[in-house]
Amino acid sequence: MPAVSPAARDKAKTLLLRALGPSKVKTDPDDCAVYSRDESEAEGMVPDAVVLAEAAEDVLLALAVAREAGVPITPRAGGTGRTGGAVPVGGGIVLSLLGMNAIKEIDRREQIAVVGPGTVLSELHAAVEREGLFYPPDPNSSVGCALGGNVAENSGGPRGFKYGVTGDYVLGMEAFLIGGQRLSVGRRTRKGTTGYDLTSLLVGSEGTLAVFGDLTLRLLPKPEGLMTLMALFEDERGAARAVEEITGRGLIPRCIEFFDATTLQAVRDAKNPIDERARAMLMIEVDGDEAACEVASLGVADACEASGASEVLVAQEPAQREKLWAARKEMSPAVRKLAKHKLSEDVVVPRQQQGELLTRVRAVGERLGVRTLAYGHAGDGNFHVNFLWDDPDEVPRVDAAIEALFRDVIALGGTLTGEHGIGVLKAPYLPLEQASELIGVQRAIKGVFDPQGLLNPGKIFPARGHRDC
């Protein structure tokens, strides 16, 4: 973390106010406080200034001021991140990009869209679907998150099982560097191998290498039809077996979402009538033309029954589908109510290890006396393992449970994060998964883009190695 003097902070405020004026620059601590947090447990400092960028020139100017004054600058889109990526851990400038929210182009023939980084994801979904097109990435935060944040986190979502993640749809972007340099990265064509693939490097860089301006995105034709299935199981291993059975039969639903017993109970408590005997649930969705949906849904239902499902419901009509999805939509707020504090770790394991992972999560919770629950994108082996607590005294046990989870995940051949990124919260654990040489190469890349370490400091890289590494 670069050391920042009070004089440097004052200089940054003065330069920003002079160049952009008070309508685009907030310096009142009460106005700035809301930018010190995101949707995670990460705690930041109240930033010295918040820039509400409306155009590329505002971004370039803020990046030039940050370097001239020597203060940190943290890009921010919707602030829905789960690992503290947009949290200004050293104060300085927060650069809000939500004002750059124009959908500039939807080209039906080329099947591409060009959007500002502040475009809210659900608005892009609606706009392209009106044109008969489809943008698949669908984090469950789609009404609050924005495309710049999605690209910076390489976000996924339920549809990732069939359609992949955000990075699979990014063709190119405007990239603004610390100091105020502008690069045009990538392309508009569907293929292209000119030079190093900097687009892929910037996707998932968590705001630490460059700030994104306009994003060029690949689109698909909108699938004709959809069918949703809900399968109930008496235990989690049955649900895990069903996921293996579905994929083993070569079926590719667009999503396979898993809920464990505690999550299901929270959803029931939110007034969703789900059979009390069920201890695990899968929500599965297939898409394509009518005949393809019919065949796929029959195959999925059969695979679930063969794996011990106690009940399988199939919904085709939009109203029926909405009813089934209500349970998924209610889940996050319902789970949020279970405790004062909640940390969600989005680990991934090979699909064949998911039953084992769930068993180990339960064992860790019981051993350490920590409440846990798990749900998530089971088709991808990507689980959101949640740790819940009310009392600060519980925190050391929660920390021990998180570390035990990460060790289990690595031992099972998995990875620390499938879609939420490393941010602040997972940075201390990076050395559990990656060798110091690999972390060193990434630090060197960071140094090329940001030699003074001013762009979103405190993210990804641990301040020091994990104590056991």
Ligand X SMILES: Cc1cc2nc3c(=O)[nH]c(=O)nc-3n(C[C@H](O)[C@H](O)[C@H](O)COP(=O)(O)OP(=O)(O)OC[C@H]3O[C@@H](n4cnc5c(N)ncnc54)[C@H](O)[C@@H]3O)c2cc1C
Name the residues that contact ligand X, by CB under 6 A.
Answer: 38-39, 74-82, 85-86, 97, 117, 139-141, 145-146, 148-150, 152-153, 155-157, 206-207, 211-212, 332, 419-420, 456
Between 108 and 340, CB nearer to ligand X: 340
CB of 146 to ligand X, least distance (A): 4
Phi-psi region of 434 (alpha: psi -120 to 50; beta: other; left: phi over 0): beta
Between 32 and 77, CB nearer to ligand X: 77
DSSP result, 426-468:
TGGGHHHHS-HHHHHHHHHHHHHH-TT--BSTTSSS-SS--TT
CB of 155 to ligand X, least distance (A): 3
Identity of residue 440: G
Between 159 and 279, CB nearer to ligand X: 159
CB of 57 to ligand X, least distance (A): 15
CB of 409 to ligand X, least distance (A): 17
Closest-approach residue to ligand X (CB): 149
Distance set, CA 124 to CA 52, 56, 112, 113, 463 (Å): 21, 20, 12, 9, 37
CB of 87 to ligand X, least distance (A): 8
CB of 290 to ligand X, least distance (A): 28
Instruction: Please give the structure tokens belonging to residue 377.
Output: 């994108």
Taking alpha carbons only, the member of 375, 380, 373 closest to residue 350 is 380
Cα 173 from Cα 270, distance rounded (Å): 41
Distance set, CA 390 to CA 66, 334, 346, 366, 407 (Å): 39, 16, 21, 17, 25
Between 80 and 353, CB nearer to ligand X: 80
CB of 298 to ligand X, least distance (A): 28
Cα 190 from Cα 188, distance rounded (Å): 7
User: Contact at 8 Å (CB) between 282 and 256?
Assistant: yes
Cα 126 from Cα 131, distance rounded (Å): 9
Phi-psi region of 316 (alpha: psi -120 to 50; beta: other; left: phi over 0): alpha
Instruction: Please give the structure tokens belonging to residue 440.
Output: 């060193």
Between 79 and 253, CB nearer to ligand X: 79
Between 354 and 456, CB nearer to ligand X: 456
Instruction: Please give the structure tokens belonging to residue 36.
Output: 């010190």
CB of 144 to ligand X, least distance (A): 6
Identity of residue 200: S
Between 74 and 247, CB nearer to ligand X: 74
Between 167 and 288, CB nearer to ligand X: 167
